[in-house]
C-alpha cells in the first residue's frame, strides 16, 4: 500500500445513544372508559463498538471520520408497545488495534481477532413504561421511567501490527529485501536510509505447506526510544510480534555492538520485549569475503541463534525459514 495510506494512529470523538423514555399511557377504547396503564418501554440507545476486521490493514478510513455517533432509542407508546432501539455504531478496525481513553490514558480495550468486539460506550437503557409500576395500592400509576443518558468521550486508536515474526534492524539492514524474497510482499527497496516508512506484512511459506506472517518494521536508530529518527512511532508494532529476527549486515564493523544498540533501544522502550524469543541474521553475506565472515563468527553476541544469509544469492534462506518456524512452534 502507498505510504500515505498507512495510518496507525487516530483520535476520535464518540457518543452513544440515549435510551427512549417509557410511556405513561392508559388504555382507552370505546367501551373501556377507564382502562389500566399500558405504556410501553423505551428502546435502548445504540452503543459504540469496535469490531476486528481482517480485511482492514490501516486506520485510514477513520482519518476523516473523527465523530462517531450511535442512534437514540425511541420512546414507548400505548398498548405496551416498546420503542425501537437505536442502531449501534460499529467501527471496523484492523486486528491489533488498541483503544485508549484520552482523559485517563487507560486502555479501554484491544481487538486481536476477526469479528471480536469491544464496547467503547454503552448506549442508555430504555425506560420502563407505567404498566410496570402498577400495584395493588396504585392501580393507575402516572409515572414512567425516563431513558438512560447517552455517554460520550474521546479515544485514541493505535494500531500495533500483528505478525509472527518481526524484522528488527538499522536502516539498510536488508529487511525489505528479505521480505520480498520469502513472501509475495513487494516493499519499497532502495540503497538509502529509511526506505521503509511503514510496516509491511508478508506471508512466508515454510516446508510442508506451513506458513507464518512476517513484518518488516521501519529501521531503528540509536536514540529511537527518545524520538530520534522515526522515533517510537513504529516501535510499538514490535510489541505484537511473537519472534524478533534481528538483522545486521555482514559489512558492519562491530556486529555485537550494533546488536547491543538495537537491544538497548527495545529495552528502553519496553523492557518486556526482552522476554520475546530472538534470532540473529547476518545479512548481505554475498558482499563479504571469507576473512570478514570468519572475523564476524568470532565476535558474535552470546546466547542467540545466528544464521548467515544472503537474500540476493539465496544463501541459507531455507534454513532461516526452518529456524523461524521451529522458534514459533517452541513459543506456542
Across 109-126, average pLDDT: 94
Q: pLDDT tens digits for 28-44?
A: 777 766 778 999 999 99
Last residue of a domain, one of 159, 177, 200: 159
| CATH assignment of the domain containing 269 | 3.40.50.300
pLDDT number for residue 175: 84
For residue 123, give Cα distances in angstroms to 62, 106, 132, 182: 21, 21, 22, 47
Residues 61 and 201 in one domain: no
The pLDDT, as a whole number, for residue 198 is 63
Ranking 28-32, 43-47, 191-195 by mean pLDDT, the lowest is 191-195
221 and 129 inside one domain: no
- Which strands make up the sheet holding 89-93, listed edge to edge? 89-93, 48-52, 117-121
Residues 6+ apart with CB under 8 A from 326: none
Range scoring the smallest mean pLDDT among 49-53, 184-188, 267-271: 184-188
Residue 58's CATH number: 2.70.210.12
Residues 81 and 209 reside in one and the same domain? no
Of the listed ranges 38-42, 49-53, 191-195, the one predicted with least confidence: 191-195
Task: Report how far apart the first and last C-alpha atoms of the chain are (Å, whole number).
Answer: 31
Contacts of 214 (CB under 8 A, 6+ apart): 163, 164, 165, 166, 167, 179, 182, 183, 201, 202, 203, 204
Q: Is 90 exceeded by the pLDDT of residue 154?
A: yes
Domain coverage including residue 279: 163-331
Higher-pLDDT residue of 165, 232: 165
234 & 197 share domain: yes
50 and 182 housed in the same domain:
no
* 218-269 residue pLDDT tens: 766 555 444 444 445 567 677 778 899 999 999 888 899 999 988 888 888 8
In sequence order, which residues have a C-beta less than 8 Å from that of residue 136 and are 6 or more positions away? none
Q: Is 290 left (phi over 0), alpha (psi -120 to 50) or beta?
A: alpha
Same domain, 214 and 303: yes
Angle at 288 between CA 312 and CA 255, to 5 degrees: 100
How large is the average pLDDT for residues 307-319? 91
pLDDT surpasses 70 at 192: no
Q: Quick check: 22 pLDDT over 80?
A: yes
How confident is the prediction for the chain on average, in pLDDT?
84
Task: Tell me the percentage of the chain whose pLDDT exceeds 70.
Answer: 87
Which of 11-15, 135-139, 190-194, 297-301 has the weakest average pLDDT? 190-194
User: What pLDDT sits at residue 158?
Assistant: 87
Contact 213, 328 (CB under 8 A): no
Number of domains in the chain: 2
Same domain, 220 and 237: yes
Residues 97 and 109 grouped into a single domain:
yes
pLDDT score for 275: 86
Residues 100 and 248 reside in one and the same domain:
no
Q: Are residues 146 and 229 in the same domain?
A: no
Instruction: Give the pLDDT confidence score for residue 6 in this predicted structure.
Output: 65
Give Cβ neighbours of residue 260 (< 8 Å, ≥ 6 apart): 301
Look at the block and give the residue holding cell 545479512. 283
pLDDT band at 203 (very low <50, low <70, confident <90, very high): confident
Query: Looking at the structure, do residues 110 and 230 belong to the same domain, yes or no?
Result: no
* Last residue in a domain, options 109, 124, 159: 159
The model's confidence at residue 168, banded by pLDDT at 50, 70 and 90, is confident
pLDDT at 3 over 70: no
Q: Is 227 buried (19+), middle (13-18) or exposed (0-12) by CB count in 10 A?
A: exposed
Residues 94 and 182 in one domain: no
**Domain boundary residue, one of 102, 128, 159:** 159
Amino acid at each position: 500500500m502507498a505510504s500515505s495510506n498507512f495510518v496507525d494512529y487516530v483520535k476520535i470523538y464518540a457518543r452513544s445513544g440515549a435510551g427512549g423514555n417509557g410511556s405513561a399511557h392508559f388504555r382507552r377504547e370505546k367501551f373501556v372508559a377507564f382502562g389500566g396503564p399500558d405504556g410501553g418501554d423505551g428502546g435502548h440507545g445504540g452503543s459504540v463498538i469496535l469490531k476486528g476486521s481482517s480485511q482492514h490493514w490501516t486506520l485510514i478510513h477513520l482519518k476523516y471520520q473523527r465523530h462517531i455517533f450511535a442512534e437514540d432509542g425511541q420512546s414507548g407508546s400505548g398498548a405496551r408497545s416498546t420503542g425501537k432501539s437505536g442502531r449501534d455504531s460499529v467501527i471496523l478496525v484492523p486486528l491489533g488495534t488498541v483503544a485508549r481513553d484520552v482523559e485517563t490514558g487507560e486502555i479501554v480495550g484491544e481487538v486481536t481477532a476477526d469479528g471480536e468486539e469491544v464496547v467503547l460506550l454503552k448506549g442508555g437503557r430504555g425506560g420502563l413504561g407505567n404498566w410496570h409500576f402498577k400495584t395493588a395500592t396504585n392501580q393507575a400509576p402516572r409515572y414512567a421511567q425516563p431513558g438512560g443518558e447517552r455517554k460520550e468521550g474521546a479515544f485514541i486508536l493505535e494500531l500495533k501490527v500483528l505478525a509472527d515474526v518481526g524484522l528488527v534492524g538499522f536502516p539498510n539492514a536488508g529487511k525489505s529485501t528479505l521480505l520480498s524474497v520469502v513472501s509475495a510482499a513487494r516493499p519499497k527497496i532502495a540503497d538509502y536510509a529509511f526506505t521503509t516508512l511503514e510496516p509491511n506484512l508478508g506471508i512466508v511459506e515454510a516446508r510442508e505447506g506451513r506458513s507464518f506472517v512476517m513484518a518488516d518494521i521501519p529501521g531503528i536508530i540509536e536514540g529511537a526510544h527518545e524520538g530520534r529518527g522515526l522515533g517510537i512511532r513504529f516501535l510499538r508494532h514490535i510489541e505484537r510480534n511473537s519472534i524478533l529476527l534481528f538483522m545486521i549486515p555482514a559489512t558492519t564493523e562491530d556486529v555485537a555492538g550494533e546488536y547491543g544498540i538495537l537491544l538497548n533501544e527495545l529495552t528502553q522502550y519496553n523492557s518486556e520485549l526482552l522476554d520475546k524469543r530472538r534470532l540473529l541474521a547476518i545479512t548481505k553475506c554475498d558482499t563479504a569475503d571469507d576473512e570478514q565472515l570468519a572475523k564476524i563468527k568470532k565476535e558474535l553476541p552470546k546466547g542467540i541463534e545466528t544464521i548467515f544469509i544472503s537474500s540476493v544469492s539465496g544463501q541459507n534462506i531455507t534454513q532461516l525459514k526452518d529456524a523461524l518456524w521451529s522458534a514459533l512452534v517452541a513459543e506456542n
